[in-house]
Amino acid sequence: MVDLNERLEKEKKLLLQEEINKIKRDFLPILKKKRENIRIQTQRYQAKIQQIREDMEGEHRARQADLTRIKNKRLKNLASIREEGLAKFENYSQKINKEINFFVKRISENEDAIETGDITTEMLARTRIPLPEIGNTIQLPDPPIFLPGDATSIGGILGKLHVKPPPLVSEPLKPTLLTMVLMFTCPLQGSLSICTTKEGDVWLGGYGSRELLMVDIKGQVTRREKIQSRPAALAVMECGDIIVSPNCEDSKSVSRLTKNGKEKHIYDASPSYCNGVSVTVDQKILICTGDGRVVKIDGDGTNVKQIYKGSGSDSAVHAVENANGNIYISDFAHSAVVRVTSYGKVQSIAHTAEGQKLGRPWGLVVDKMDNILCADIDRHCVYIIDQQIREMAGCFDRIQEPGWLAVDNDNNLWIAQGNEDVQVAKYLSP
């Protein structure tokens, strides 16, 4: 009986063990699969968290870089103003010292007259002191200004004087009505695009020509460059490389043409097309697209950053940046000029409200005095952009559909007209 019970007990244990093994065989792969899924999900979440962290850090670095750039630019401007002020003060001080030395020398030559207190009109005239007309001889008051024996110490006394220079007031050149200097017909086909180099040279492109021309102030061609696409707009970097925005029928990619003639695509606006281009103070490139976007990229096409998004087609035709980091955008579709501050604030500063005559703005340019000039195709004129939209020129028979603008080193305004003519004009006066 005992053997039977033991045998039954052993069989129960065997059956139980088989059942356990069966459960392990059936469920262990499922558990492994679930564990693997959990591990994969965890890795994905960790990767997303890392990506979010890197994006936030990159955005933070970009903001810090922008703030540093603005700070350095302002410090540079302040340093330039300070150096200019010190130079003017030094020149003025040298002039004052020269006058004082001349004055002391003349007094020393007439020492006897000073000691007696009698100074003739002729003596004072030689010392450049203005006199009232009261006779040939002037008696100094009692007590005299210079006591006897003090003539030799006059130079020491004058040397201790602190001469305060007049305030440093400069009269900047101001925009006035345009005065034509030259008009010539460009030997390129189609609407013209234009830009100037830091040396003052002028590049021209035609909407129907795969060639760029460099011209002088007389309109004579001095250089030619072949390009892949017909240009819609041009800009030039400090190094002399030309940024070409193509005719939308040829390409949708902005290219960079180097001095040795090599052309490289640096930004693709697909599925839209490219409008105006410009180069900022820190050599970034602003590109406007047909769907109303403005992007800023590095010179090699990297670090693409969207600055502005307009509403609708051609709501951003051209964008330029001034010395303060503010970006001005010509909104052709809504007859406006939009300002985007360095802090991202968007404001329409020129529009068709009462008292403001803006029609269809196209090309913009910033000159050395930080004036913003805007070409108006519909009004056939050029404006200086401020809160009142002052009109600079509005002579319909002399500016036919002004498109792109440029300013050279001699403050000449170059206007590319829609009839393949280029007008060069003066627009500044004291």
C-alpha 399: how far from chain center: 27
Residue labelled with tokens 């068709």: 352
Q: 2 or 400: whose pLDDT is higher? A: 400
Preceding omega of 172 cis (within 30 degrees of 0)? no
pLDDT (average), residues 345-361:
73
Q: CB under 8 Å to 383, separation ≥6 — which residues? A: 350, 358, 373, 374, 376, 389, 390, 391, 392
CA-based max dimension of the chain:
163
Q: What is the DSSP annotation of 285-326? A: EEEEETTSEEEEE-TTS-S-EEEEE-SSTTS-SEEEE-TTS-
Summarize pLDDT for 300-339 with one digit per residue, the tens: 999 999 999 988 888 899 999 998 889 999 998 888 899 9
Distance CA 206, CA 219 (A): 15
What is the pLDDT at residue 130? 43
CB–CB of 152/127 below 8 Å?
no
Mean pLDDT over each residue of the chain, to the nearest integer: 80
Say which amino acid occupies 373.
L
Distance CA 426, CA 430 (A): 12
Task: Report the DSSP pairing between strands 137-139 and 263-268.
Answer: unpaired
CB–CB of 257/277 below 8 Å?
no
What is the pLDDT at residue 93? 80
Preceding omega of 143 cis (within 30 degrees of 0)? yes
Bridge partners, 288 (sequence order) = 294
Summarize pLDDT for 169-186 with one digit per residue, the tens: 456 677 777 788 888 888
Complete domains list, the chain, with CATH: 97-159 (no CATH), 174-429 (2.120.10.30)
Summarize pLDDT for 223-250 with one digit per residue, the tens: 999 999 999 999 999 999 999 999 888 8
CA 327, 384, 310, 416 dihedral sign is negative
Summarize pLDDT for 90-107 with one digit per residue, the tens: 887 888 878 777 766 766
